Amino acid sequence: MGAGFAFLDRVRALKILFISPEVEPFVKVGGLADMVGALPKELAKLGHDVRVVCPAYGSIKGIAEWTARAEPLGVDVGSATHWARTWETVLPGTKVPAYFLENNGFFSRPEVYTSPWGACEDNDLRFTFFSRGALTLCQQLEWYPDVIHCHDWTTGLVPMMLNTTLRGTPLGRAATVLTIHNLEHQGYSPSRIIHFARLPWADFQRDGLVSGEMVNLMKAGLFHSTKLTTVSPTYAREIQTPDGGFGLDGVLRFRSGDLVGIVNGIDDESWDPARDRTLPANYSAADLAGKAGCKAKLQERFGLEVNPSVPIFGVVSRLAEQKGLDLLAEALPGILDRMKVQIVLLGNGDSRLENTFNWAAQAYKGSFGAHIGFDGKLARLIQAGSDFFIMPSRTEPCGLTQMYAMRYGTLPVVRATGGLKDTVENYVEGAEHGTGFVFNDPTVSALSNSVGWACATYYDRPKEMAGLQQRAMAMDLSWRHSASEYVNLYRWAVESRTGVFPG
């Protein structure tokens, strides 16, 4: 792997299918959608035949304007065939086909994984139907991919289907790559799923995929996928340890020879402060004037004093334990009482944190603002209008928002974990080094000290602040490098699967 494979970009194009529960800009819960919306574009630019398949959730807008395939899709799951309608469009600005599988029972509801009452109880059935449906679609199209790229637990049974019931079919030649975006979510499912997926019981038992009455869908994928990736090199190491493996470190160590950490890129055409149409003003590293306009708009939007000289710290995040924002909630009073700063937060998820931040927005009116909800446009205004971006994550497989921040000249204040460690270089005072502020311990004091350090840099060392900003904006965070790494990995996977190197 690595540099020695550079010549391979000139050899045979691959057929690659992404099977994913989310894809930007159609349906997004988190960064998985960003990755699946962006990497295929880059692979297509390299000449590969890439396609994406995703469920047609009820929340997807404008679907009726797409083309529906005339032939219904009969998906063999459970005791009877279940039917899907296939909608077809392309990833915006590309010719990459994107297929969406519609089924009233499983996907007419708007939710992806969770309803207001918690995880959907039939998630195992929904995503198994989807996984099998995506494979059936290939059979219907008579389009047999070289590589099937799966994402997280929802697609964990795909590699197993290809290794068992479908192994002897033309689809069975496809190599599989499973990307772990977040090991915390493993898809524990009732064992009814084995019958529903029409998979052999014995394989589940042999590989320890069943525990009591439950099956671990992520673990099935980890066992069966030809190759495994995760979204940063540091996270690839962390998940092989008992502390970071969420119970699956043993399987991951067992498969370590097939596991690669490839850091995510960002779609730098969409996330470009010079061209982002959602911003009140555009700017670039060469001319930052527009950033001040974004800051003023942000302050106004959150009811803060419109003052260019007060530093603003932004947060855009799912409100989940993983993100460590409880540390920020606890640190807020100390920070806001001691320092002349403003903080804005956009997020949703954990209801206790939602309430805490809503309460804090009342208590610290004028210096702290919160918007509880999901709002793509506001997320961009925060990235552009802030001076700093806070991510105190306990674990962070990759993290995209710190990269969007750097691209927008906003300096990340992050904990050294997973992809945050791999993408943000810590500031060294007086040394013209760094792109952000990095701390080690997941504690209130470590976070507060880093915010204090960032704040002091802003007020006392404006030249160094400007240097940090220029270095952050000059980073190549695009998918170009990582897309080539994926191509190398795909070829390696094909060789392992078929015994023939795809040349």
Among positions 218, 316, 416, 472, the unique one binding ligand ADP when judged by CB under 6 A:
316
Task: Give the pair of three-digit tokens for residue 11.
Answer: 């050899």
3-state secondary structure of 426: strand
User: Which contacts qualify for 295-299: CB closer than 8 Å, 24 or more apart?
Assistant: 295/385, 295/386, 295/387, 296/385, 297/381, 297/385, 298/344, 298/381, 298/382, 298/384, 298/385, 298/386, 299/342, 299/385
User: Judged by CB under 6 A, does residue 284 bind ligand ADP?
Assistant: no
With 0-12 / 13-18 / 19 or more C-beta atoms within 10 angstroms meaning exposed / middle / buried, residue 269 is: exposed
User: Judged by CB under 6 A, does residue 374 bind ligand ADP?
Assistant: yes
Rounded to 5°, the CA angle 30-33-39 comes to: 135
Among positions 191, 348, 449, 470, the unique one binding ligand ADP when judged by CB under 6 A:
348
Among positions 317, 367, 435, 484, the unique one binding ligand ADP when judged by CB under 6 A:
317
Residue 270 binds which of ligand ADP, ligand GLC, none (CB < 5-8 A, kind-dependent): none
Tell me the closest approach of the beta carbon of residue 149 to ligand GLC, in angstroms: 13
User: Judged by CB under 6 A, does residue 301 bind ligand ADP?
Assistant: no
DSSP category for residue 23: B
Tell me the closest approach of the beta carbon of residue 309 to ligand ADP, in angstroms: 27
Binding site for ligand GLC (CB under 6 A): 30-32, 35, 181-182, 231, 264, 396-400, 419
Tell me the closest approach of the beta carbon of residue 183 to ligand GLC, in angstroms: 9
User: Judged by CB under 6 A, does residue 400 bind ligand ADP?
Assistant: yes
Task: Give the pair of three-digit tokens for residue 289.
Answer: 């004037």
Phi, psi of 218 (to 5 degrees): -65, -45
Phi, psi of 100 (to 5 degrees): -125, 125
User: Judged by CB under 6 A, does residue 185 bind ligand ADP?
Assistant: no
Among positions 76, 111, 350, 375, the unique one binding ligand ADP when judged by CB under 6 A:
375
The number of angstroms, rounded, from the C-alpha of 483 to the middle of its chain's C-alpha atoms is 15
Residue 55 and residue 308: Cα distance in Å, rounded?
Answer: 45
Give the residue with the Cβ less far from ligand ADP, 20 or 401. 401
Tell me the closest approach of the beta carbon of residue 32 to ligand GLC, in angstroms: 5
Residue 374 binds which of ligand GLC, ligand ADP, none (CB < 5-8 A, kind-dependent): ligand ADP
Tell me the closest approach of the beta carbon of residue 376 to ligand ADP, in angstroms: 5
Residue 261 and residue 18: Cα distance in Å, rounded?
Answer: 18
Residue 350 binds which of ligand GLC, ligand ADP, none (CB < 5-8 A, kind-dependent): none
Select the span of 31-39, 80-88, 188-196, 448-456 touching ligand ADP (CB under 6 A). Answer: 31-39
Residue closest to ligand GLC (Cβ): 31
3-state secondary structure of 82: strand
Tell me the closest approach of the beta carbon of residue 266 to ligand GLC, in angstroms: 10
User: Judged by CB under 6 A, does residue 183 bind ligand ADP?
Assistant: no
CA-based end-to-end distance of the chain: 15
Query: Does an H or E element contain 67, and which?
Result: strand 67-68
Binding site for ligand ADP (CB under 6 A): 30-32, 34, 316-318, 346-348, 374-376, 379, 398-401
